[in-house]
Amino acid sequence: MKKNIAIIMGGYSSEYQISLKSGNVVYQTLDTSKYDAYRIHIFKDKWVYVDGSDAEFPMDKNDFSVTVNNSKITFDCVFNAIHGSPGEDGFMQAYFKLINLPHTSCDMYQAALTFNKRDCLSTLKPYGIKTAESFFVNLGDAIDEDAIVAKVGLPCFVKANKAGSSFGVTKVHNKEDLQNAINVAFKEDDEIIIESFLDGTEVSVGVITYKGETKVLPITEIVSENDFFDYEAKYLGKSQEITPARLTKEEETKVNKIAKKVYEVLKMKGFSRSEYIFKNGEPHLLEVNTVPGLTLASILPQQAAAAGIPLAELFENAIEASLNPS
């Protein structure tokens, strides 16, 4: 019997277009001899199944089913391809837990924790995970620019705390530009994080559960044409992504060990991609993504290919792990 797989894509964040691309790659790649795949668009104003001719059918949120031509379709598993809210921050994970439907991403708490940069970094610090100096601001707080600069220095990064990694991010070189950067970040979230600039090699490390084991994939080095790895660099080709990264054996061993530790300390499942910058030879964690991009140009699929794992196998492994948890 073939399994019915709902591929959820879209979402409520500014990254919804990338999510649609990721979801469609999964849809086009899954082995049709094993799975019947269904594209499910999740937006604030509608949850719909989109068929091969782009006709839309509303989802029944009571049990995440859909009725097509008087026939009710239910699903064996959900493949989560939503970047940002509600697929990466715990909301969909909680919903699927409540209706007892397996899904390919991590659990609700892990999703919510990793999506909140401040809380994730704070949780990991006691385990010896190095991070940049940071300063937190909530919407409505008085902005003390001198205190911010004294804590994190210049240049620094101003980021939305809970909005993925591509939007609401500004690199600030002068104190006079801080307020504008803060305003940009507040358009994405009501909490922001301001971090010191780490000048060093930036790498991205994919860690997945593969055949029941935690597997660290080959590391990708990121060389941005822009001032940093922003939306253009990430999604519009304005960066070089070099896999495997040009690291010394010692650097590679260090970051592999830390990435695996982060995955296991947080009790992650499924896909993850964590970002690090080397400072004085030590990897400093920037953030953890739990629904990384899955387009053909995305980093995690590149890393899987370098590890000898074809896309179809990568996706099938995630589905089978959720259907048969160890």
CA dist 115 and 162 (Å) reads 6
| Two tokens, residue 85 | 């809210």
Which parts of the chain have pLDDT scores under 70? 164-166, 226-238
Nearest Cα residue to 271 out of 310, 308, 300:
300
Identify the pLDDT of residue 167.
Answer: 73
Q: What's 218's DSSP letter? A: P
Q: What's 125's DSSP letter? A: G
Identify the pLDDT of residue 164.
Answer: 60
Measured CA to CA in angstroms, residue 24 lies from 120, 203, 247, 276 at distances of: 30, 27, 33, 29
Identify the pLDDT of residue 240.
Answer: 87
Identify the pLDDT of residue 15.
Answer: 86
Cβ–Cβ under 8 Å, residues 221 and 283: no
Residue 3 three-state SS? strand
Residue with token string 């160890």: 326
Identify the pLDDT of residue 250.
Answer: 97
Cβ–Cβ under 8 Å, residues 120 and 110: no
pLDDT tens for each residue of 113-125: 999 999 999 999 9
Identify the pLDDT of residue 147.
Answer: 97
Cβ–Cβ under 8 Å, residues 306 and 244: yes
